[in-house]
Amino acid sequence: MTDHPLGKWLNMRMDRAPELQPVSVQELQDWQFDRLRQTMFQAVRNCPFYHERLAGVQTGAVHTPADLEHIPFTTADDLRSGPENFLCASQDEVARAVTLASSGSSGPPKRLFFTAGDLERTIEFFQYGMSPMIKKDENILAILPDSRPGGVGSLFSESISLIGGETILPVNPSYISTLLNLLLDTHASCILGPAIQIHALARMLESKGITINHVRSVLLCWDVLPQASMQTISRVFDCEIFSHWGMTETCLGGGVDCCGGSGMHLREPDFFLEIINPATGKQVPDGHKGEIVISTISRRAMPLIRYRTGDVGCIMPGQCSCGLPLRRLGAVEGRLDDGIILPGGSRMDLNEFNNIILAQKDILDFTVEYQPDELALSFKLDVLPGSRPTPEVKQMLMEYHKIKQACDNHNLNISTRLAKQDGTIHSGFGKRSITVKPPKASV
């Protein structure tokens, strides 16, 4: 039994009466594979890329996840090398094109295209997914980019207005003092945004000794969720913490918790998600971590078949206690390409640095830069005004086993220095990452 709004949404998307109990997990999967076969049929017929990539592949024989393993992957490089080759609709039907610069490489950007219908389905997912978090006449502070028509901020505002709420979109996500004033002035009952901004907001509230009781829920999205930040946010706001996962390739919305910490119910009427071992390309069982791969099943402008997202996550085993048949994604812990190999061979990813550094009470944000030829790992710290925690942070880093080993045995050099100290942070709307400096000779 479920009365969750996403159950109503799922029924409507499956052309069933909204008030019916949702279908079973197996019925949902069968329906998805029916849509997936249709998508592949259309893609082979209309997209130059898939016409070639899926030539000779029996797409009509794909009925189960195991069958899907015979279908070749699509990669980010495929998207970069010719985004127009993925178009399944005419240019006239494209309502929005999004260009994504490649982080850390000088390669061509990815471009993604959406029809008005593709965007409508995202608004609908946001509307039903957000319903447990916000009520009519309430305000939501949404730290989201792009308030232009078709942009994520604009789509999100539309979905909230369908619930009867009001969205406040801050212009600059790096001005934490301004975010704080907006939060206090608008009495927002929900805050949505990347974990780093909400973390900084919580740290600033705490440092000023301000207690607020109007925030009923926080939704963390668009980037990895550091455990250290989750603890701070949960303590300061003392409310339910929800998570969302999504990327431009999923048409922004991807999965959302039905209640705090439940695991993110996937947007199954719009894509089928697999988790694979990135080394072998084979699917892994539920509960095992791997690379997230998506196949769109409703996308009109630009279908993606077995697209390797580069994000790391896992499907939570079993069905949610809310009764929805939508599978759940566990916390997305990072990207395959956001790690560095320290001298001595240990791998460190951004979230490990997050969990060490963000646990320090004066830190709002930080950047990390690695220079392998100089064996130098440097950190710039954005801190609460008036604080100077550089020695403490350096010590915390040096005590972490992997870093200690690299320093003691392989001469790794750690430096920490203060950066922003005026209540602003380095991070904007983009995803945070580790910067790796190329060897000096090749600069």
Which residues bind to Zn ion, rule: CB under 5 A?
Answer: 258, 262, 320, 322, 324
CB of 217 to Zn ion, least distance (A): 15
Q: Of the two residues 32 and 139, which places its CB atom closer to Zn ion in the complex?
A: 32
Residue 402 to residue 385: CA distance in whole angstroms: 31
CB of 263 to Zn ion, least distance (A): 7
Nearest CA-CA partner of 141 in 122, 166, 123: 166
Write the CB contacts of 320 (distance below 8 Å, at least 6 apart in sequence): 258, 262, 263, 265, 326, 328
CA atoms within 13 Å, Cβ hemisphere of 151 = 12
Which residue shows structure tokens 């009923």? Answer: 216
CB of 321 to Zn ion, least distance (A): 7
Which residue shows structure tokens 């082979």? Answer: 44
Residue 251 to residue 270: CA distance in whole angstroms: 9
Q: Of the two residues 200 and 322, which places its CB atom closer to Zn ion in the complex?
A: 322
Q: Of the two residues 7 and 334, which places its CB atom closer to Zn ion in the complex?
A: 7
Q: Of the two residues 251 and 322, which places its CB atom closer to Zn ion in the complex?
A: 322
45 and 37 Cβ atoms separated by less than 8 Å: no
Q: Which residues of 224-254 are buried (b: 16+ CB within 10 A; e: fewer)?
A: bbbebbbbbbbebbebbbbbbbbbebbbbbb
CB of 27 to Zn ion, least distance (A): 17
Q: Of the two residues 239 and 322, which places its CB atom closer to Zn ion in the complex?
A: 322
CB of 242 to Zn ion, least distance (A): 11
Q: Of the two residues 143 and 322, which places its CB atom closer to Zn ion in the complex?
A: 322
Q: Of the two residues 132 and 310, which places its CB atom closer to Zn ion in the complex?
A: 132
Q: Quick count: other Cβ atoms within 10 Å of Cβ 386?
A: 8
CB of 138 to Zn ion, least distance (A): 22
Find the DSSP H helices in 18-173.
25-46, 48-53, 65-68, 76-81, 116-130, 152-163
Residue 438 to residue 52: CA distance in whole angstroms: 36
CB of 216 to Zn ion, least distance (A): 19
152 and 173 Cβ atoms separated by less than 8 Å: no
